[in-house]
Amino acid sequence: MLVGLKEVLVQARANKQAIAAFNVPNLEMVRAAIQAAEEANKPVILQHAEGHGSLIPLEEIGPIMRQYAERSRVPVVVHLDHGKSFEALMQAIKLGFTSVMIDASDLPFDENVARTKEIVRIAHSLGVSVEAELGHVFTSSLGGGEGRAPDDDQIGDTEIYTNPKQAKAFVEATDVDCLAVAFGTVHGIYLKEPRLDLTRVREIYQEVNIPLVMHGGSGVAAADYQTAIENGIAKINYYTYANKAAANALKEHVTYEAQDGFFEEYVAIAMKALKMDYTQAIQVFSNSSV
Ligand code: 13P
């Protein structure tokens, strides 16, 4: 069933779990994510990044995401990830997304507040949840292509990590439902070992008291996911590793099993690998072995 983000995240916090938020820029990812969530009997977030418009436009994948959510046996949120333009944010709301992210994290604090407030006012009046970002989660040049330019040179720079006191002021000023925070995770594949500031996550949560969001959720150590969740993370954005799992399965199949095949066979192999990867992510984020 189609549900709102806020209710799902409040419940996740109460259970000390995080909900997997999968970027699904094609039908195979939508189907595999729904199947994995239904088999695990867990809620899931299907999201589309505005920057993935080059893979598939929002107006094509949006109605598909919504339809699968409505028909699902488990609670499914349909969310716009990294909404940068006013047009994409309004389009997502018009398509029936139950949640949007306004990403103005590259703007100065006051402008981020002003842009976020504008979107919150519109979205909340229509019953749509809002995620915003304070601080800046870097993007690796390998994978993680949600439309952000790679920041390889800056990765490891703690200057842009979210400041807990600023986060409190931001949440009070904007009334967002959840906040994406920077504490050392990176979109895409880590080119060097991540150094996560998990204490900062707790400090931010103590100040804002709303669910926090981890971007760059691929490639984090199992123990670090757990600490992050205990400290306030309730939504984990996850794309690159699932994407890679499907690509690797296809590569292995073509290299070792059958160099010749039909497209439908390759689609099935990719979907199987996606589903296995999604299932594992759902289990790790929900602390369960179901
Ligand atoms: P990964 O690239 O680490 O999977 O993160 C995805 C993400 O944060 C989408 O917003």
Instruction: Please state the atom number of ligand 1 nearest to the C-alpha of residue 238.
Output: 4
Instruction: Please state the atom number of ligand 1 nearest to the C-alpha of residue 219.
Output: 3
CA–CA distance, 270 with 250 (Å, rounded to integer): 6
DSSP count for the chain of H helices, then E strands:
10, 10
Model pLDDT for residues 69-83, shown as the tens digit of each residue: 999 999 999 999 999
Pocket probe for ligand 1: among 50, 181, 237, 280, the residue whose CB has the most ligand atoms within 8 Å is 237
3-state helix, strand, coil in the chain (%, to 5): 50, 15, 35
Every domain of the chain and the residues it spans: 5-240
Residues in contact with ligand 1 (CB, 6 Å cut-off): 23, 49, 81-82, 143-144, 146, 187-188, 215-218, 237-241
Pocket probe for ligand 1: among 29, 142, 178, 187, the residue whose CB has the most ligand atoms within 8 Å is 187
- Is residue 260 part of the annotated active site? The answer reads no
Residue closest to 148 by CA, chosen among 105, 94, 191? 105
The protein residue whose alpha carbon is closest to atom 5 in ligand 1 is 216
Amino acid at 140: S
Q: Which portions of the chain are predicted below pLDDT 50?
A: 290
CA–CA distance, 151 with 102 (Å, rounded to integer): 20
Q: Is 259 helix (H, G, I), strand (E, B) or coil?
A: coil
2 Cα: distance to centroid of ligand 1 (angstroms) = 23
pLDDT confidence of residue 176: 98
The protein residue whose alpha carbon is closest to atom 1 in ligand 1 is 216
261 Cα: distance to centroid of ligand 1 (angstroms) = 31
Q: Give this prediction's pTM.
A: 0.95
pLDDT confidence of residue 290: 44
78 Cα: distance to centroid of ligand 1 (angstroms) = 16
pLDDT confidence of residue 194: 79
Asked whether 39 and 235 are in contact (CB, 8 A), the reply is no
CA–CA distance, 61 with 28 (Å, rounded to integer): 11
Return the CATH class of domain 5-240: alpha beta
Pocket probe for ligand 1: among 100, 215, 277, the residue whose CB has the most ligand atoms within 8 Å is 215
pLDDT confidence of residue 216: 95
3 Cα: distance to centroid of ligand 1 (angstroms) = 22
Per the DSSP assignment, residues forming a β-bridge with 46 are 22, 78
262 Cα: distance to centroid of ligand 1 (angstroms) = 31
Tokens of residue 109, six digits: 């604090």
